[in-house]
Structures are given as C-alpha cells and as structure tokens.
Amino acid sequence: MTEIELLRKVRARMGPGSLIGDDCARIEGPRRGHELLVTTDLFLENTHFLRSTHSAADVGHKVLARGLSDIAAMGGTPLYCFLSLSLPQWADASWVRRFYDGLLALAARHKTRLAGGDLAHGETLAADIVVVGEVPLRAALGRGGARAGDAIYVSGVLGGASEGLKSGKGPGFARLRRPEPRIALGQYLRGKATSCMDLSDGLAIDLHRLCLESKVAAVVDHPLPASPGASLEQALHGGDDYELLFTAPPRRRVPEVWRGLPLTRIGSIVAGRAGKMTFFGRALPPLGYDHFQNS
C-alpha cells in the first residue's frame, strides 16, 4: 500500500469535502462570541496501552476519547480532529481499518470531523490526536480558578480503569478500553464550576496539579466513589478514568446525579501551601501516573 493509496482510503472514510488534499486543512474559526480550544494528546504503544489489552478499535476510540476529554474539561464543544499516526509493521490494513472504525464512531457521536493528519512508518505505534473545539468567550473552565472554601467534586466512579487493567474483565476493563469523554457535563459546568480538569493520571496527582495552578490546598474528607471492585489505592492513584474533577462555591447546588452520572463531593479547597493535600487528616502524596517520575 502506498501513502497515496492509504490516504485515499482514509479520505473515503472522511466523506465528501474532506480537507486532506492540500498541505494544510482549512477550518472555520470559532463562531462569533467564542474562542478556540486546541489540545494535543500522544498515545504510545507500551507506554499508554498494550496490544494484549486494547483491540484496534479500542485504540482508535481511546486516542480520540483522550483528546475529547480535554475539551470536556474546559467546557468546550469539539469541532475538528487531526490524527498523526506512526504505523509499525505489525499494524496491517485490517488493523488500520478497525482502528479508524473505533475512532470515527466516537467522532460521529460527538459531531467531530476528522479534518487531516499525517501518516508514517515507525518502529512502534504512536498516535497523536489534535482536537480543536470552541467555547463561549470568557466561559472556558480551567485549573486555576479554585478558591479556599470551594467544594471539590468528581463525576462517575474512580479507579475502574486501574482495577480493570489488573482484572482484565468487568466494567473497569471496559472503562480502560473505552473511556467516555464527559463533553455534556463539561458544558453544563460552565458558569457553575470555579475550576475543572479531567482525571487522566489519577485523582491524587491530578488534584495536586489543580491545586498548584490555583495556588491552594485541598482536604479530601468524604468517601470516594470507588468503581465496583476497585481498592482505595486504585481510586486515589489509578489513572485512565477520564472523569471530571471540579470545584464549585460552597453555596452552589450541585446535583448528586446529573443525567444518570453521579457527581460526588469528596472534599474542600482550603488556604495553604499550593498543592498540599490531606486525605481524612493524613498527608496525601501526589502519586499517580507521571510520565517523567522515573527518569
């Protein structure tokens, strides 16, 4: 298969009016009164996934889900995605087809258009997804807005992906392979949450990052909504759940369940050394998945 042949196949999947014929894609700017959001997310074989746990369609789904989850964390609406793909020898035409099946099914559900990308042969599978979205001006959520006194919430359940990686079955394993970006929830939280981010590397390390950006400390003193079968350790430090972590002023009424998704208060933001965290009175170390912890 030549590059032109592969591009022709990919382009056919993208539908009429696709944008990959030229050196750049031309995209419409944000609507009036909106600004653009851009996120890039690398997904690497043996770093982020194993061929033994993720099917081709799982990999395609998860690559895009990770990017969409970043758009969700800012309260945005995804518009376009771009995929750069390094394909090793083992990734045959059938694998590539099923990979695009998984990616494009999720893209269709979120009305996100695959607008371009790049392809190359490499020694390992690497996928870099770019998602471009929009958000109303001055409405984007971020990590820097948490204030002392705010309540801390998480959506859904925690530790499922980590438990699923170990057990290889059940809802945790499904979550590991097919995380669900919380686009609608992120949009709902605009104007309500003071800060928001997605849980990609684990509650403790991600809450630490949010506290660093907001220059505040956190007290976690409510039971965590652990995924069925997940240990406390997995709920605190397991990555790959892609739920939203957010803060809201204490008087803001946050529903316990929103469109079937639990929203659970887990603690409070307090004044203190930026990034300091406690869990039921004890220091909580910012452990989780850190790509550079062991280097």
Query: Site residues for a second copy, window 61-80 (CB under 8 A)?
Result: 69-71, 73-74, 76, 80
Q: CB within 8 A of 73, min separation 6: which ones?
A: 141, 186, 196, 197, 198, 244
CB 19 within 8 A of CB 27: yes
Amino acid, res. 209: R
CB 71 within 8 A of CB 181: yes
Binding mask 179-218 for a second copy (x = CB under 8 A): ------------------xx----------x--xx-----
Distance, CA of 45 to CA of 59 (rounded, Å)? 9
Binding test (CB under 8 A) with a second copy, winner from 10, 14, 37, 158: 37
Nearer to a second copy by Cβ, of 43 and 163: the residue is 43
Binding mask 45-64 for a second copy (x = CB under 8 A): -xxx----------------
263-290: b or e for each residue (b if 16 or more CB lie within 10 Å)?
Answer: bbebbbbbebeebbbbbeeeebebebbe
Q: How far is the CB of 94 from a second copy (least distance, A)?
A: 13
Nearer to a second copy by Cβ, of 15 and 122: the residue is 122
Site for a second copy in 99-158 (CB under 8 A): 115-124, 126, 128, 130-133, 135, 140, 142-144
Distance, CA of 132 to CA of 227 (rounded, Å)? 31
Burial of 174 (0-12, 13-18, 19+ CB in 10 A): middle
Q: How far is the CB of 169 from a second copy (least distance, A)?
A: 27
Residue 256 binds a second copy (CB under 8 A): no
Residue 287 binds a second copy (CB under 8 A): no
Binding test (CB under 8 A) with a second copy, winner from 251, 253, 256, 293: 293
Residue 41 binds a second copy (CB under 8 A): yes
